[in-house]
Amino acid sequence: MCGIVGYVGNEQCADLLIEGLRKLEYRGYDSAGVALLEGSLVVVRAKGKLKNLEEKLRAEKPRGTCGIGHTRWATHGKPSDENAHPHQYAGVAVVHNGIIENHLELKAELAGRGHKFSSETDTEIFAHLIAEEEKSGGPLVAAVRRAVARVRGTYALEVLSERSPGTVVAAKNASPLVVGLGKGENFVASDVPAILAHTRSVIFLEEGDFAEVTNEKVSLSNASGESIERPVRHIDWSAVMAEKNGHKHFMHKEIHEQARALTDTIRARASVETGDVHLDGCSLDAVFVQSLTRIQIVACGTSWHAALVGKRMIEELARIPVEVDLGSEFRYRDPLIDKSMLCIAVSQSGETLDTLGSFREARARGARGLAICNVLGSALSRESDDVLYTHAGPEIGVASTKAFTTQLGALFLLAVKLGRLRETLTTDAARSLLTHLRELPALLEKTLLCEPSVKLAAQRWSGARDCLFLGRGPQYPVALEGALKLKEISYIHAEGYAAGEMKHGPIALIDENMPVLVLAPRDPGPQPGAAYEKILGNLQEAKARGGQVIAIHSEGDTMVAGLADASIEIPQTHPLLLPILSVVPTQLFAYHVADHRGTDVDQPRNLAKSVTVE
Ligand code: G6P
């Protein structure tokens, strides 16, 4: 997500903060800012690149031997000077990564006590709450602890206060924070690269930790205020490794970030208790949703695969016919559209020209537009009636991974919402679906444990010329996505197929040189599901022709494991959510094949992250 750096020492630190933020630039950001403390607080912020902030700093020359800095990737509120961090109120300045779920409630409560807000962000709440809590006395860290207790959500937080000179207080929940230890100076940052030029001795904070950092001392405590110890680690990563948080490639890092990204996508939106879904940025109501005759989804690449899964989710849960088309096809086929339709565009970047063109066409013909995208303020989000952000954070690897799984999370939320508004889902049914969704980040984390067996399979078949991916039902788009990932980064020819179509063509390709990756998870519960039984047949057909079968199956399924040449287990969940788990081994397979072949994993030849041409 966004980048954070903080310093306490004896040097003037504006340049040091900028230098630290520059080391985090590669992650993408839309604005930046610093707060410096020497007597009083000075906050300087600028939209756009760091050079804009540097120009302002050169002009204003603020002083401070204690400071915090931030590069922002917008989540709440457009990119602007006002929404850039740090946010300040009554002598308190804060920078924050993460999302506060109950910020609207807190904002209303604070406004009721006369607080005025100067930004659209959720973060500003922290400055107000901490300033209020400081009035009860005690050290700054105690005020931060009390403030944080009132907040639900994820945060990596750094705080300065005019009433606590020479101190930075930090707090962590879900978003990373690392303390760097120096001589007569200390650092706190979201990521190691920001401080690597100054120290290699670090402490990684853990969930619920608070750190009180001065130039001489770092004191750690927990939510109850008890002192705690964390090990000091020596970092021997190179600067390049540090950018990837110790991972060899951004793609690998992003595959491993998926549980957190999914948590951010579903957090605050799904209420398991009531079965309700609250989609901030979408004002769909029962009258409109009940009058809908059809939904059209447009997308490209990986987002198109997410849309194909989304179609199944919406049709099954909300009983509305859904058509999915490629952005590059839809806009040129004189589509049949009217006011009774909703057009959904799915796009990580929100800038893909074909998707944007199709979306504009649908809206121009009267459809209401809903964008599912990851980049706040993108062209798509600006032109849409409703926007559902995925909150995956910046995705740097060209091959999309966490964007896909968060798109599926967002589409599932939308499907439940539509089902509730159309009354095709009872409260109990919705509660059960949302319970499955809430359990998913932990299951995704568990799925990642398959990596060693996937890596072995990847190394064994990394010399293949072609590879076939087969799936049925919601697993068919996963087969398409798995094949796309493999061809994108390893340059092996790969095809994804609906397993039932194999007999109409691809079966002719199968011989002993052809790895066939079969997605064969079974439904939870006593019945394994019709798709499962049929895909077992397809698996055996492939084997009978000498194909080398790599099976992705449910844990404990000895039947599939016994038939396959390599077997990869995933946990069970609701069939409509299974693609979020089953895609993970396909991502890892593509990654390890490509890594073994030595291709440029993060920047494959001829491909771009955001395709803004036709
Ligand atoms: C490019 C990227 C893909 C992405 C596709 C659609 O081809 O390399 O990873 O899926 O564009 O991008 P979007 O930003 O619209 O999701």
Summarised one tens digit per residue, pLDDT across range 162-209 is 999 999 999 999 788 999 999 999 999 998 889 999 999 999 898 899
In order of 144, 399, 481, 518, the CA distances from 476 in angstroms are: 49, 19, 9, 10
Q: Which residues pair with 519 in a beta bridge?
A: 552
Average pLDDT over residues 45-66: 95
pLDDT digits (tens, 9 = 90+) for 110-165: 999 999 999 999 999 999 999 999 999 999 999 999 999 999 988 999 999 999 99
**Cα 298 to Cα 331: distance, rounded to the nearest angstrom:** 9
Three-state DSSP class for residue 552: strand
The DSSP secondary structure of 99-132, one letter per residue, reads: -BTTHHHHHHHHHHTT----SS-STHHHHHHHHH
CA of 398 to the centre of ligand 1 (A): 8
- Mean pLDDT for the chain? 94
> CA 224 to CA 146: how far, in whole Å?
10
Percent of the chain residues topping a pLDDT of 90: 81
pLDDT tens-digit map of 303-319:
999 999 999 999 999 99
Coil, helix or strand for 468?
strand
Question: Pairing between strand 548-554 and 92-97?
Answer: unpaired
Question: Is the pLDDT assigned to residue 101 strictly greater than 80?
Answer: yes
What mean pLDDT do residues 582-603 have? 96
- Strand ranges in 499-583 using DSSP code E only, listed in sequence order: 515-520, 548-554, 566-570
Give me the sheet containing 386-389, strands edge to edge: 322-326, 294-299, 341-347, 368-373, 386-389
Average pLDDT on 48-66 reads 95
Does the reported pTM lie above 0.75? yes
Q: How far is the CA of 303 from the centre of ligand 1 (A)?
A: 7
Please answer whether residues 367 and 338 qualify as being in contact, where contact means their C-beta atoms are separated by less than 8 angstroms. Answer: yes
Q: Which residues line ligand 1 (CB under 6 A)?
A: 300-303, 347-349, 352, 355, 398, 400, 607, 609-611
| Atom from ligand 1 closest to the CA of residue 398 | 8
pLDDT of 500-537, one tens digit each?
998 898 888 888 889 999 999 998 877 888 889 899 99
Please give the share of the chain, as a percent, with pLDDT higher than 70.
100
Instruction: Look at residue 613 and tell me whether its pLDDT is greater than 80.
Output: no
Which domains are seen in the chain, by residue range? 3-242 (3.60.20.10), 253-425 (3.40.50.10490), 447-597 (3.40.50.10490)
To test the ligand 1 pocket, which listed residue (250, 297, 352, 384) has its Cβ within 8 A of the most ligand atoms? 352
The beta-strand segments (E) located in 198-242 are: 201-204, 210-213, 218-221, 233-234
Q: Examine the pLDDT at 412 and tell me if it is beyond 90.
A: yes
Of 601, 602, 571, 569, the closest CA to residue 454 belongs to 569
Q: What is the mean pLDDT of residues 448-475?
A: 96
In angstroms, rounded to a whole number, what is the distance separating the alpha carbons of residues 27 and 25? 5
H-helix segments, 448-474: 451-460
Polymer length of the chain: 614
Q: Which atom of ligand 1 is nearest to the CA of 302?
A: 10
Strand partners, 572: none
424: confidence class by pLDDT, cuts 50, 70, 90: very high
First vs last Cα of the chain: how many Å apart? 29
- Judge whether residue 612 has pLDDT over 80: no
Q: Mapping DSSP to helix (H, G, I), strand (E, B) and coil, where does residue 404 land?
A: helix
User: Would you call 609 a catalytic residue per the annotation?
Assistant: yes
Beta-carbon contacts of 498 under 8 Å, excluding residues fewer than 6 positions away, are 470, 471, 472, 476, 479
Work out which ligand 1 atom sits closest to the CA atom of 403: 16
The SS3 assignment for 40 reads strand
Q: Tell me the CA–centroid distance for residue 407 and ligand 1, in Å.
A: 12
User: How far lies 289's CA from each of 319, 388, 412, in Å?
Assistant: 11, 16, 16
Give bridge partners of residue 549 from the DSSP assignment.
Answer: 516
What pairs with residue 204 in β-bridges? 178
pLDDT band at 399 (very low <50, low <70, confident <90, very high): very high
305 Rama sector, left if φ>0, alpha if ψ -120 to 50, beta otherwise? alpha
Please choose from 250, 251, 255, 302 the residue to mutate so as to test ligand 1's pocket, defined by most ligand atoms within 8 A of CB.
302
Angle at 160 between CA 158 and CA 163, to 5 degrees: 150
Question: Using 50, 70 and 90 to split pLDDT, how confident is the model at 614?
Answer: low
Q: Quickly count: other Cβ atoms within 10 Å of residue 112's Cβ.
A: 8
Per residue in 347-391, pLDDT (tens digit) is 999 989 899 999 999 999 999 999 999 988 788 998 999 999 998
Phi (first) and psi of residue 68, to 5 degrees: -135, 150
State the residue for tokens 């984390």: 445
Which tokens sit at 201? Answer: 């001795």
Kindly give the distance from the C-alpha atom of residue 345 to the centroid of ligand 1, in angstroms, as a whole number.
12
Question: From ligand 1's centre to the CA of 558, what distance in Å?
Answer: 37
Which atom in ligand 1 lies closest to the alpha carbon of residue 399? Answer: 9
> Please, what's the b/e burial string for 2-13 (b: 16 or more CB within 10 A of its CB; e: otherwise)?
bbbbbbbbeeeb
Who's near 99: CB < 8 A, 6+ residues apart?
A: 75, 76, 122, 153, 154, 264, 267, 268, 391
What secondary structure does DSSP assign to 282-324, as a single string?
----HHHHHH--EEEEEE-HHHHHHHHHHHHHHHHHH---EEE
